[in-house]
Amino acid sequence: MSTQEQSAATTPKTKSPDVVVVGAGTAGCYAAATIAREGYDVVILERKPESEAGHIACGDALKGADSFPEAIPKSKLEPAFTNTGVDHGRFEIPQEDTVLEIPIPGELAVIDRWEYGRRIIDGAGDVGVDFQYDTVVKNVIQDDDGRVTGVEAIRNGEPLTYEADIVIDAAGSLSVLQDHVDFSASAFDTNVNYTHFCSAYREIVHVDEPVEWDDALVFKPTERAAGYLWYFPRTETEINAGLGFQMTEEPMKLVDDLKRDLETRPEFRNAEVEDKLGAALPTRRPYDSAVHPGYMAIGDAAGHVNPTTGGGIAGAAYGGKYAGEAAIEAIETGDVSEKALWEYNERVMDHFGARYAALDVYNILSTAVDVDDLMGLLAAIPGEKLAEALYSGSTSLGPKLAIESLLNSRGHWGTIWTLFQTKRRADDLLELYEGYPHHPAALEHWQQRRDDIMEQVYETTGAEPKY
Ligand SMILES: Cc1cc2nc3c(=O)[nH]c(=O)nc-3n(C[C@H](O)[C@H](O)[C@H](O)COP(=O)(O)OP(=O)(O)OC[C@H]3O[C@@H](n4cnc5c(N)ncnc54)[C@H](O)[C@@H]3O)c2cc1C
């Protein structure tokens, strides 16, 4: 090999788009499409091959699709909506031999998730996003001031360097990029621990006869604390069946436990498993800040998931839109500082982050209460009352519900009292998040006030500190 050939083999090829997005999931596609629509040069680096891209472990329930960001037109996604007839949750409580039916307001679809994944990639491609598959991002490049200026990747054994004004981390749960960034120059949230995640697994199961509950999302607690099973009908004969547990708990044998539950259900006799996937999902509050000079994290990589339901598609799409718009502004003003990107944090908190942070309080509570007691209490509450309390605009169980429950649920008064007190803490938290700071310098003081409320949450619930 000549010296020139040797150097070509070892010197990484360098590309310089305006923005590099890592990950071709919902967050990455929406961010990149938002930016590309304004005429900027955006590349998405995706570790999977093109044939596998968009294949994501998910329960396939898509809430709020009616108001998804327009960067990818809804008409593009609709063919992947295989069941739009779902209008309620069906909570099976075997301990109490009860089934609770709770209406779910708003548009809800169970989707063919892989088809949806392909369609958002297609939608981003339509507006000019450049997809590079088989490209694993291995490292993040920073200048002497700590600003992120690009990433290093490998494609089919070949090292590549991408330099960009902005790097958007849409690499999903436990994003490897964050292990490589020195965040000391910013307030980027590094208080992230594996116990903030849920380990989940799902199968797509085909049954011969239509299920009776094809208009419902079916939920069921597992026998162990903080675990849950779901059965979501993609069609009346194709069911997304899955389960998960919070990683604070003893690990479950997810595949075996799901198999055992499937075996107890007559509707799954002779069922065929068509696809299997597992993954971690963040069931925690959103990152306090997901920006650093030249860098933003979005979607699962920034904890943008409803921590009580595990629903993260909508948060990923909107996080993508807001980060995309912040990136455009930063490029146009030539300012990629933390302060310039901060508005992205504010928009996330304003739209859904504050609510998710408040809901996280109930997740914390669930790790401390006796599950049988909680299920006994739920079984004692009329479904429509629970729905009313859940969707009344408040974060969750309200005083009206508590009074209703008191009348019906002798034997669970201690739990009701804890719930009531927990709701007050959740409301305090929501109020504080509604005053999320307008600039990074004010974050530390805000965090102190938030941590004071969290102390009260741990005291009220009896839970171990989560953060
Ligand atoms: C089992 C399960 C069930 C769920 N059920 C639901 C549900 O019913 N409804 C709902 O709304 N949400 C659900 N969620 C959550 C939802 O799937 C996620 O919140 C959502 O997919 C997050 O999108 P994202 O774009 O942030 O990340 P992802 O969709 O995970 O995309 C990340 C992408 O980054 C790529 N990537 C990662 N690392 C690298 C790297 N180093 N280099 C290059 N590429 C990389 C990955 O290959 C992937 O394509 C569920 C999650 C799980 C695990």
CB 148 within 8 A of CB 294: yes
240 and 172, same structural domain? no
In the reported structure, the alpha carbon of residue 259 is separated from the centroid of ligand 1 by a whole-number distance in angstroms of 24
Q: Is the pLDDT of residue 325 over 80?
A: yes
* From 43-47, 125-129, 150-154, 359-363, the region with the lowest mean pLDDT: 359-363
Residue 415 lies in a domain: yes
- Among the candidates 319, 336, 353, a domain finishes at 353
Its domain, for residue 416, covers 357-461
Q: Whose CA is nearest to atom 2 of ligand 1?
A: 58
For 366-376, what is each residue's pLDDT tens digit?
A: 888 877 777 77
Q: How many domains does the chain have?
A: 3
Evaluate: CB of 151 within 6 angstroms of ligand 1.
no
For 154-191, what is each residue's pLDDT tens digit?
A: 999 999 999 999 999 999 999 999 999 999 999 999 99
228 and 276, same structural domain? yes
pLDDT number for residue 224: 63
Alpha helices in 305-398 (DSSP H): 313-333, 338-348, 354-366, 371-379, 383-390
- Residue 1 structure tokens: 């090999």
For 176-234, what is each residue's pLDDT tens digit?
A: 999 999 999 999 999 999 999 999 999 999 999 999 999 999 999 887 656 789 999 99
In angstroms, the CA 385 to CA 405 distance is 9
439 and 312, same structural domain? no
Q: Is the pLDDT of residue 41 over 60?
A: yes
pLDDT confidence tier of residue 116, bands split at 50, 70 and 90: very high
In angstroms, the CA 227 to CA 253 distance is 11
Query: Largest alpha-carbon pair distance within the chain?
Result: 86
Q: Is the pLDDT of residue 384 over 80?
A: no
Residue 7 lies in a domain: no
Which of 243, 258, 300 has the most ligand 1 atoms within 8 A of CB, as the residue to mutate?
Answer: 300
- Residue 179 structure tokens: 């292990």
Helix 371-379 to helix 413-434 angle, to the nearest 10 degrees? 90
Evaluate: CB of 283 within 6 angstroms of ligand 1.
no
pLDDT number for residue 249: 82
Residue 98 lies in a domain: yes
Evaluate: CB of 324 within 6 angstroms of ligand 1.
no
In the reported structure, the alpha carbon of residue 52 is separated from the centroid of ligand 1 by a whole-number distance in angstroms of 13
pLDDT number for residue 6: 53
CB 269 within 8 A of CB 280: no
Q: Is the pLDDT of residue 408 over 90?
A: no
pLDDT number for residue 44: 98
Sheet of 81-83: strands edge to edge? 61-63, 108-111, 81-83
Token look-up 């803490």 returns: 425
- Among the candidates 300, 331, 353, a domain finishes at 353
Instruction: State mean pLDDT over 303-311.
Output: 94
147 and 63, same structural domain? yes
98 beta partners: 93
Phi, psi dihedral angles at 227 (to 5 degrees): -115, 155
Provide the CA 139 distance to its chain's centre, in angstroms: 24
In the reported structure, the alpha carbon of residue 301 is separated from the centroid of ligand 1 by a whole-number distance in angstroms of 9
Mean model confidence pLDDT for the chain:
91
Evaluate: CB of 61 within 6 angstroms of ligand 1.
yes
Residue 5 lies in a domain: no
CATH code (residue 211): 3.30.9.10
* From 241-245, 380-384, 419-423, 433-437, the region with the lowest mean pLDDT: 380-384
CA Rg, the chain, in Å?
A: 23
In the reported structure, the alpha carbon of residue 444 is separated from the centroid of ligand 1 by a whole-number distance in angstroms of 30
- Among the candidates 311, 328, 353, a domain finishes at 353
Q: Whose CA is nearest to atom 17 of ligand 1?
A: 58
What are the Cα distances from residue 405, in Å, to 96, 198, 364, 376, 411?
Answer: 16, 30, 21, 11, 11
* From 227-236, 292-301, 391-400, 452-461, the region with the lowest mean pLDDT: 391-400
Helix (H, G, I), strand (E, B) or coil at 234: coil
pLDDT number for residue 411: 64
